[in-house]
């Protein structure tokens, strides 16, 4: 299972940040379903930027 | 040729190759270059097999729409991880990456165990394999998402040739390479590409198509600058 841990740590450093980045994509998906396709891109950018701010502030 | 992909692959792989070189040099300095190069060669073979299985297998059996979505998500996770570290380093919350210090630490660890060539070979293998794995991830994800493997491979190959020739010429860790700045740039690029491709696969309409990647890069650059300034101010206030 060590290799699985290595693969995980290749992509995830701060689990909270990873979850927030995934939430950004879920928000975008919801906006796409609501036919707000252009706003969805802006949502990804804003949520990811906010997540970085939150993660680094609470480090 | 996709220049975005080429530049990102070049910068990201150069950083990883510099880190791998430091470990191989440390092993070579303590135990000689035979175990160092043997460990490196085994790692390169293992990475080649892995790349063939992942690259050929995944591309043949996974539909491109699904692949782009998965790759976009992985790139976004990979990008925010790099960017977070860069923000912490530039704001002073984490010490800057220093190849000379890492080299000295590796040499110290190897000296404590001197004479064990198998352990030295394993150290070289681990270093090259783990750093190389990141290069494989970058080349495979960026190459397949942009459908431009040649750009990703050329970028990584230029990085390898440059680092290898400098390493052979200097026989010392490449501590003058501006690794921290490069990691910061790569973090911005990977986060931007990840946002773009993951969004596109979910049906997001990006204004001006690919030009949006530049807008995302500028946006994340501005956001990062704000975060670093804010963290620095907080640190100063706390002191």
Handedness of CA B191, A55, B230, A28 (dihedral sign): positive
> Does residue B225 sit at the A interface (CB-CB below 8 Å)?
no
DSSP sequence for B99-115:
HHHHHHHHHHHHHHTTT
CA distances from B33 to B113, B114, B120 (A): 16, 14, 10
> Does residue B130 sit at the A interface (CB-CB below 8 Å)?
yes
CA distances from B119 to B16, B34, B77, B175 (A): 22, 13, 33, 25
Predicted ipTM beyond 0.95: no
Residue ranges in chain B whose pLDDT is less than 70: 59, 175-176
> Does residue B119 sit at the A interface (CB-CB below 8 Å)?
no
Residue B182 is predicted with a pLDDT of 82
Residues of chain A in contact with residue B130, where contact means CB-CB under 8 angstroms, are: 6
Distance from CA of A1 to the nearest CA of B (A): 16
Q: How far apart are CA A56 and CA B85, in angstroms?
A: 9
Residue B118 is predicted with a pLDDT of 84
Residue A16 is predicted with a pLDDT of 93
Instruction: Name the residue of chain A whose CA is nearest to B227's CA.
Output: A53
Residue B174 is predicted with a pLDDT of 72
Please compute Rg for chain B using Cα positions. Answer: 19
Residue A49 is predicted with a pLDDT of 96
Residue B188 is predicted with a pLDDT of 92
Of B91, B43, B46, the C-alpha closest to B226 is B91
pLDDT tens-digit series, residues A30-57: 999 999 988 999 999 999 999 999 999 8
Answer whether A48 sits within 8 Å of B191, measured CB to CB.
yes
Q: Tell me which residue has tokens 């997540």.
A: A51
Residues of chain B in contact with residue A12, where contact means CB-CB under 8 angstroms, are: 77, 81
> Does residue A40 sit at the B interface (CB-CB below 8 Å)?
yes
Residue B143 is predicted with a pLDDT of 81
Answer whether B80 sits within 8 Å of A57, measured CB to CB.
no
> Does residue B221 sit at the A interface (CB-CB below 8 Å)?
no
Residue B218 is predicted with a pLDDT of 95
Of B70, B104, B94, the C-alpha closest to B198 is B70
Q: How far apart are CA A53 and CA B15, in angstroms?
A: 25
């Amino acid at each position: 299972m060590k290799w699985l841990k290595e693969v995980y740590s290749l992509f995830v450093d701060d689990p909270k940040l990873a979850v927030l980045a995934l939430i950004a994509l879920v928000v975008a998906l919801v906006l796409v379903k609501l036919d707000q396709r252009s706003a969805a891109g802006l949502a990804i950018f804003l949520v990811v930027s906010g997540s970085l701010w939150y993660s680094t502030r609470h480090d | 040729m996709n220049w975005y992909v080429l530049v990102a692959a070049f910068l990201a792989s150069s950083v990883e190759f510099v880190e791998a070189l430091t470990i191989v040099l440390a092993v070579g300095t303590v135990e000689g270059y035979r175990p160092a190069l043997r460990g490196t060669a085994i790692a390169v073979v293992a990475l080649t097999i892995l790349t063939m299985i992942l690259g050929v297998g995944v591309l043949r059996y996974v539909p491109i729409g699904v692949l782009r979505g998965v790759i976009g998500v992985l790139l976004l996770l990979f990008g925010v991880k790099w960017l977070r570290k860069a923000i912490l380093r530039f704001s002073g919350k984490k010490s800057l990456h220093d190849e000379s210090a890492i080299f000295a630490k590796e040499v110290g660890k190897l000296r404590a165990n001197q004479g064990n060539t198998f352990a030295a070979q394993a150290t070289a293998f681990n270093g090259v394999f783990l750093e190389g794995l990141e290069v494989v991830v970058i080349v495979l994800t960026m190459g397949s998402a942009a459908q431009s493997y040649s750009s990703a491979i050329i970028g990584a190959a230029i990085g390898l040739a440059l680092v290898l020739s400098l390493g052979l010429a200097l026989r010392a860790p490449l501590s003058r390479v501006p690794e921290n700045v490069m990691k910061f740039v790569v973090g911005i690029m990977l986060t931007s590409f990840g946002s773009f491709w993951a969004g596109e696969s979910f049906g997001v309409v990006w204004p001006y198509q690919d030009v949006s990647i530049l807008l995302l890069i500028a946006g994340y650059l501005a956001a990062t600058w704000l975060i670093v300034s804010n963290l620095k101010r907080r640190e100063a206030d706390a002191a």
